[in-house]
């Protein structure tokens, strides 16, 4: 599914983000940037040790923020590492932090001339954010951002499962239809 907002295309696809050839791909990292499971593990495995070397130099990233490194062996030119909130009960600033994740990542992309960016579904794996809510926050935040910022041609959400893909599609339909 694809929609155009001003000059930016938002696209939802099912797939493996490590294979994307967008200018940047976003990693769902942890605040120490030490690697882990899920998409973080997959990106470091596929990209090789150069990415971790830069992560070590940077040293860490607060929740809701984003940092950028090289992409090692990946097709994408950059990896933007962002740290999503760990979901507790929805009353611990989770939504604001998740909004900040998407905004910070797009800011890092613009600062580094990355015009196309691929996101996984941040925080909805190990960090436990309910996917329906997270999809809506992710899409609304990206849409609001691109309405007020120039420099991004394509934002792609690369969803790992059929279920996640369906949830994001429904959320996008609800946002553009409502």
Q: Annotated catalytic sites, by residue?
A: 40
What lies within 8 Å, CB to CB, of 19 at 6+ separation is 75
Q: How far is the CB of 43 from ligand AR6 (least distance, A)?
A: 7
Residue 42 or 154: the one with the smaller Cβ distance to ligand AR6 is 42
Q: Using CA atoms, how far apart are residues 52 and 79, in angstroms rounded to an integer?
A: 11
Residues that bind ligand AR6 (CB under 6 A): 16-18, 28-30, 36-40, 42, 84, 120-127, 158, 160, 164
Tell me the closest approach of the beta carbon of residue 6 to ligand AR6, in angstroms: 26
Which residue, 25 or 152, is less far from ligand AR6 as judged by CB?
25
SS3 127: coil
Q: Spell out where the chain has E strands.
A: 2-5, 8-14, 24-29, 66-70, 78-83, 116-119, 154-159
H helix intervals, 9-114: 38-47, 49-58, 94-111
Q: How far is the CB of 154 from ligand AR6 (least distance, A)?
A: 16
Q: For residues 137 and 98, is the Cβ–Cβ distance under 8 A?
A: yes
Residue whose CB is less far from ligand AR6, 126 or 175? 126
């Amino acid at each position: 599914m694809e929609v155009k907002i001003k000059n930016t295309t938002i696209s939802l696809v099912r797939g493996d983000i490590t294979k994307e050839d967008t200018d940047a791909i976003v990693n769902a990292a942890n605040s120490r940037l030490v690697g882990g499971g899920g998409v973080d593990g997959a990106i470091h495995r596929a990209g090789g040790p150069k990415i971790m070397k830069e992560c070590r130099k940077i040293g860490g990233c607060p929740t809701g923020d984003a940092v950028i490194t090289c992409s090692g062996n990946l097709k994408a030119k950059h990896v933007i590492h962002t740290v999503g909130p760990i979901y507790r009960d929805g009353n611990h600033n989770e939504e604001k932090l998740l909004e900040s994740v998407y905004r910070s990542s797009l800011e890092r992309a613009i600062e580094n001339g990355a015009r196309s960016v691929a996101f996984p579904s941040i925080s909805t794996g190990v960090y436990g954010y309910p996917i329906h809510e997270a999809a809506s926050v992710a899409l609304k935040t990206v849409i609001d951002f691109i309405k007020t910022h120039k420099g991004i041609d394509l934002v792609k959400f690369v969803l790992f499962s059929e279920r996640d893909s369906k949830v994001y599609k429904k959320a996008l339909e609800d946002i553009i239809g409502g």
